[in-house]
Amino acid sequence: MPFVRVGSVSDLPPESVREVAIGENLYAICHAGGKITALSGVCLHRGGPLGQGQVRDGYVICPWHAWGFHCETGENDYDSSKKVTTYPVKVEGGDILLQLP
């Protein structure tokens, strides 16, 4: 599975999230707790845009209805059996690379 450049670490401040669209798929690229991670960009609740939310205490918070998902595991903050898909990420030379499914 290929890795694709989705941005620069310098453009993703600590404790923030950014939405990335690749084809028809949305991804939420998080910078939380000193780590860069990637989740599905679609909230399980009502399809809200996770990448347009905020990072708080290691969770990305959906801007529509405040559902939270752990930036590393994808687990919901209230029910760990509900989780969004996570994706491998690596940083090379300041570039953020996302492994596509």
DSSP output for 2-32? -EEEEEEGGGS-TTEEEEEEETTEEEEEEEE
pTM of the model: 0.95
Q: Which domains does the chain have, with CATH numbers?
A: 3-99 (2.102.10.10)
Local structure of 36: helix, strand or coil: strand
Q: Name the nearest CA neighbour of 18 among 7, 29, 10, 9.
A: 29
Confidence of residue 38 (pLDDT cuts 50, 70, 90): very high
pLDDT digits (tens, 9 = 90+) for 83-100: 999 999 999 999 999 999
- % of the chain surpassing 90 pLDDT: 98
**Residue with structure tokens 């290691």?**
58
